[in-house]
Chains A and B, each alone.
Chain A
Amino acid sequence: MMCEADAGDRENADPAFSALLEDSAEDLYENAPCGYLSTLLDGTIAKINATLLGWLGHDREEIVGRRRFSDLLTVGGRLYHETHFAPLLRMQGELGGVAFEMKTATGGRLPVLVTSTVKTGSDGEAQLIRTTVFDASDRRAYEQELLRARDEAERERDRAQRLVKTLQQTLLPPALAEVPGMQVAAYYHPASADQVGGDFYDLFPINDGTWGFFLGDVSGKGAPAAVVTSLARYTLRAAAVHDPDPTVALGTLNTVLSQQFRGTDPRYCTVIHGRIRPHGDSATLTLAGGGHPPALLIRADGTATFVPILGGQLVGALPTARFAAVDVRLEAGDAVLLYTDGLTEARTHGRARYSEEQLRADLTGLAPATAPAVVEAVTDLLAGFGDGVEDDTALLAFSIPQSGGDQP
């Protein structure tokens, strides 16, 4: 009521306003600031407004009753219209904001946004399709710019991931050394394609009859961690040559890390470093460690036990650190697994953390416990955790084949 009174007052008071109200429906339709058209259900254009004809440069006689709406689109747009627009419009009765390009009479293209509704009769039967068309030239240019920026960002990400992969590969041995009479296997699971991980391992000959190995995990991730990983690898490998006692090599690494990174940005790592001396169908394994999860020993009879290295400290955290070593004798059918905590701290399907104890239970009874079989079993576990593996995981396993086994 109030509105009517207001409008009446205003009409009387303001001649400019009353002139507006004399707009005819016809003029509103023909010269609306958007294109209008109505088509039969088969798309034949029955009615089109002057605005759209003007944009396209067509005469009314060429269009009405002679062309379908999809005839005014580019061929690719027509494909899209037939496979997406028309079926969706049929099913929903309306569809809005769909981007097309219309062809103009002079061969140009007009980017538009199209909205259509199906008009139904009183019996509910579809009768015709009403469509509005908005000039979207500016918007399309902006969208193209966004798409271009997105493509560029994707290319940049690919490039960064390739770089990370390459860097990661340089931190891992391209191939493991062969140890006569033994099987060895390793696996590296990167938690992220975007960041270099902080786990590392290697197996290498020291002298006739002795091989050295290590597997470790440096604090942090990304480029800063990669610097420590690289330093740790080369330091351990060089130090291992000079002294038969692996705790001495760990002491050297401790000194190097604590000197290099002392101050506000301490860097440290956990490592198991050791050596293997095969003799006949058995071998002696010396394991020395600092702060690392214990190696898992799986005997030929399927029992699995941890090999604790008592008294070892983190490497690089203190200027002087103590490291301990333990000897393990491997017989035919025995296997040893070294791993990083990316495995034991992965989230399982119940979202609880996996654990060393569950690992021991899962690998108990694994027979034959060859190095490849152990690594495969753990790799399957990791695959089962999916994105629950939040940190990088490195695996390194040794085994002695059963006599008459399949060792070449």
Chain B
Amino acid sequence: MCPVSMRTRNNVVETGRQDGPVLLLAHGFGCDQNLWRLVVPALAEQYRVVLFDHTGAGRSDLSAWTPERYGTLDGYADDVLALCHELDLTDVVLVGHSVSAMIAVLAANQEPDRFAKLVLLTPSPCYIDDEDYRGGFSREDIDELLEALESNYLGWSAAMAPVIMGNPDRPELGEELTNSFCRTDPAIARVFARATFLSDNRADLAKVSVPTLVVECAQDAIAPPEVGRFTHENIAGSRLVTLDAIGHCPQLSAPEATVAAITGFVSGP
């Protein structure tokens, strides 16, 4: 039996200029590639934009998800590399939002030659406070998040899931439901939440050899300014841009400024 292609498994969508530099957009915890939709049109004018859903999220093939492989960020980083191999992407600009910023760091450290540049959007290398390091959260806070996940299924229904997931070629079936974006199996969300918020990737930052841009928001309850600064200071030669934006998702709350930061870095020297 041949392995299922990543293109199908991870719902790869390509758009933009085929002759432009490759921009691979990796979404964070809590949603799927829909989160990029306000910035994709502008980015597509200049770049070959490649979007995908992490295994377990969005319209990815849920049967490929296992708690073992996706219980740590390494499983996701391996997927990003496998995707680059299958689509034969080279000189990739990898844009990782939120937890995918650290997934991007892990992937780029494994195969630095594959990537031209990294853009880390609202990154945090470690969410939990640790001695002098301030990540902003405690273990108990993360347990509260898991409770919130448990009590909110946001459009997920075990009965509907096979209908939606089993008909990727008939997306209209899913559009009828509320919260059809970012629908996630609560059991999968729970494992992803743990992998996201309990990881400590501070030591991986120093190993980054690819030119890197760190983008943070002026007010972000998840990745506060000291975390953005820590990330910037620990990646040699990185640049830091602070957007005058609020929240953890500048690609939604400040799409123009986010596009400007990305294009300025990618097309610049």
Determine if chain A interacts with chain B.
yes
One of A41, A90, A140 near B151 (C-beta < 8 A): A140
Distance in Å: Cβ of B2 to nearest Cβ of chain A: 12
A84-B181 in contact given A75-B137, A79-B137, A98-B154 (Cβ < 8 Å): no
Query: Does B150 sit at the interface, judged by CB under 8 A?
Result: yes
Collect the chain B residues with CB atoms within 8 Å of residue A42's CB: 219, 246-247
Instruction: Mark A52-87 against chain B: 1 for CB-CB distance below 8 A, else 0.
Output: 000000000000000000100011111111111011
A77-B144 in contact given A83-B222, A90-B252, A90-B253 (Cβ < 8 Å): yes
Indicate if the CB atoms of A84 and B249 lie closer than 8 Å: no
Among the 9-residue stretches B30-38, B53-61, B87-95, the one with 4 or more Cβ atoms under 8 Å from chain A is B30-38
Indicate if the CB atoms of A87 and B35 lie closer than 8 Å: yes
Instruction: Mark A31-46 against chain B: 1 for CB-CB distance below 8 A, else 0.
Output: 0000000000111000
Cα(A98)–Cα(B150), bound, Å:
11
Indicate if the CB atoms of A88 and B144 lie closer than 8 Å: no
Collect the chain B residues with CB atoms within 8 Å of residue A98's CB: 152, 154
Indicate if the CB atoms of B150 and A83 lie closer than 8 Å: no
Please give the number of chain B residues whose Cβ is less than 8 angstroms from any Cβ of chain A in the complex: 39
Query: Does B147 sit at the interface, judged by CB under 8 A?
Result: yes
Indicate if the CB atoms of A82 and B34 lie closer than 8 Å: no
Query: Does A311 sit at the interface, judged by CB under 8 A?
Result: no
One of B37, B150, B221 near A78 (C-beta < 8 A): B221
Query: Does A95 sit at the interface, judged by CB under 8 A?
Result: yes
Indicate if the CB atoms of B222 and A91 lie closer than 8 Å: no
Distance in Å: Cβ of A69 to nearest Cβ of chain B: 11
Distance in Å: Cβ of A200 to nearest Cβ of chain B: 30
Query: Does B267 sit at the interface, judged by CB under 8 A?
Result: no
Give the residue name and chain of the A residue nearest to B138 (CB). Answer: A75
Distance in Å: Cβ of A75 to nearest Cβ of chain B: 4
Indicate if the CB atoms of B154 and A88 lie closer than 8 Å: yes
Indicate if the CB atoms of A87 and B31 lie closer than 8 Å: yes
One of A79, A86, A96, A143 near B178 (C-beta < 8 A): A96
Distance in Å: Cβ of A40 to nearest Cβ of chain B: 9
Collect the chain A residues with CB atoms within 8 Å of residue B144's CB: 74-77, 79, 101
A95-B179 in contact given A75-B144, A147-B150 (Cβ < 8 Å): yes
A79-B247 in contact given A84-B154, A88-B179, A147-B150 (Cβ < 8 Å): no
Indicate if the CB atoms of A84 and B253 lie closer than 8 Å: no
Distance in Å: Cβ of A76 to nearest Cβ of chain B: 2
One of B28, B149, B219, B247 near A86 (C-beta < 8 A): B247
Instruction: Mark A89-108 against chain B: 1 for CB-CB distance below 8 A, else 0.
Output: 01110011011110000000
A87-B182 in contact given A75-B141, A75-B144, A79-B145 (Cβ < 8 Å): yes
Indicate if the CB atoms of A83 and B98 lie closer than 8 Å: yes
Once A and B bind, how many residue pairs between them come within 8 Å at the CB atom?
A: 97
Cα(A77)–Cα(B1), bound, Å:
44
Query: Does A384 sit at the interface, judged by CB under 8 A?
Result: yes
Collect the chain B residues with CB atoms within 8 Å of residue A96's CB: 178
Distance in Å: Cβ of A130 to nearest Cβ of chain B: 18
Collect the chain B residues with CB atoms within 8 Å of residue A84's CB: 30-31, 152, 154, 182
Distance in Å: Cβ of B37 to nearest Cβ of chain A: 7
Collect the chain B residues with CB atoms within 8 Å of residue A88's CB: 31, 154, 179, 181-182
Indicate if the CB atoms of B30 and A92 lie closer than 8 Å: no
Collect the chain B residues with CB atoms within 8 Å of residue A87's CB: 30-31, 35, 182, 249, 252
Indicate if the CB atoms of B30 and A99 lie closer than 8 Å: no
Collect the chain A residues with CB atoms within 8 Å of residue B154's CB: 84, 88, 98
A99-B34 in contact given A82-B247, A86-B249, A90-B253 (Cβ < 8 Å): no
Query: Does B226 sit at the interface, judged by CB under 8 A?
Result: no
Which residues in chain A, 14-46, are within 8 Å of chain B measured between CB atoms? 41-43
Distance in Å: Cβ of A379 to nearest Cβ of chain B: 13
Distance in Å: Cβ of A157 to nearest Cβ of chain B: 15
Indicate if the CB atoms of B152 and A91 lie closer than 8 Å: no
One of A79, A83, A101 near B141 (C-beta < 8 A): A79
Give the residue name and chain of the A residue nearest to B34 (CB). Answer: A91
Collect the chain B residues with CB atoms within 8 Å of residue A95's CB: 179
Cα(A286)–Cα(B256), bound, Å:
81
Collect the chain A residues with CB atoms within 8 Å of residue B29's CB: 83
One of B1, B141, B181, B247 near A76 (C-beta < 8 A): B141
One of A80, A90, A140 near B145 (C-beta < 8 A): A80
Distance in Å: Cβ of B149 to nearest Cβ of chain A: 7
Distance in Å: Cβ of B186 to nearest Cβ of chain A: 11
Cα(A30)–Cα(B98), bound, Å:
39
Distance in Å: Cβ of B178 to nearest Cβ of chain A: 7
Query: Does B142 sit at the interface, judged by CB under 8 A?
Result: yes
Give the residue name and chain of the A residue nearest to B219 (CB). Answer: A42
Which among A81, A83, A92 has the highest number of chain B CB atoms within 10 Å? A83
Which among B150, B247, B249 has the highest number of chain A CB atoms within 10 Å? B247
Distance in Å: Cβ of A286 to nearest Cβ of chain B: 38
Collect the chain B residues with CB atoms within 8 Å of residue A384's CB: 1
Collect the chain B residues with CB atoms within 8 Å of residue A80's CB: 145, 148-149, 152
Distance in Å: Cβ of B26 to nearest Cβ of chain A: 15
Collect the chain A residues with CB atoms within 8 Å of residue B252's CB: 86-87, 90-91
One of A75, A83, A99 near B248 (C-beta < 8 A): A83
Query: Does B130 sit at the interface, judged by CB under 8 A?
Result: no
Instruction: Mark A233-247 against chain B: 1 for CB-CB distance below 8 A, else 0.
Output: 000000000000000
Cα(A42)–Cα(B247), bound, Å:
7
Query: Does B14 sit at the interface, judged by CB under 8 A?
Result: no
Collect the chain A residues with CB atoms within 8 Å of residue B150's CB: 147
Query: Does B44 sit at the interface, judged by CB under 8 A?
Result: no
Instruction: Mark B185-222 against chain A: 1 for CB-CB distance below 8 A, else 0.
Output: 00000000000010000000000000000000001111
Give the residue name and chain of the A residue nearest to B98 (CB). Answer: A83
Query: Does B143 sit at the interface, judged by CB under 8 A?
Result: yes
Collect the chain B residues with CB atoms within 8 Å of residue A83's CB: 28-31, 98, 222, 248
Some 6 contacts from A to B, beta carbons below 8 A apart, are A42-B247, A86-B247, A87-B252, A88-B154, A88-B182, A92-B178
Closest 5 CB pairs of A and B: A76-B144, A83-B30, A80-B148, A76-B145, A75-B141
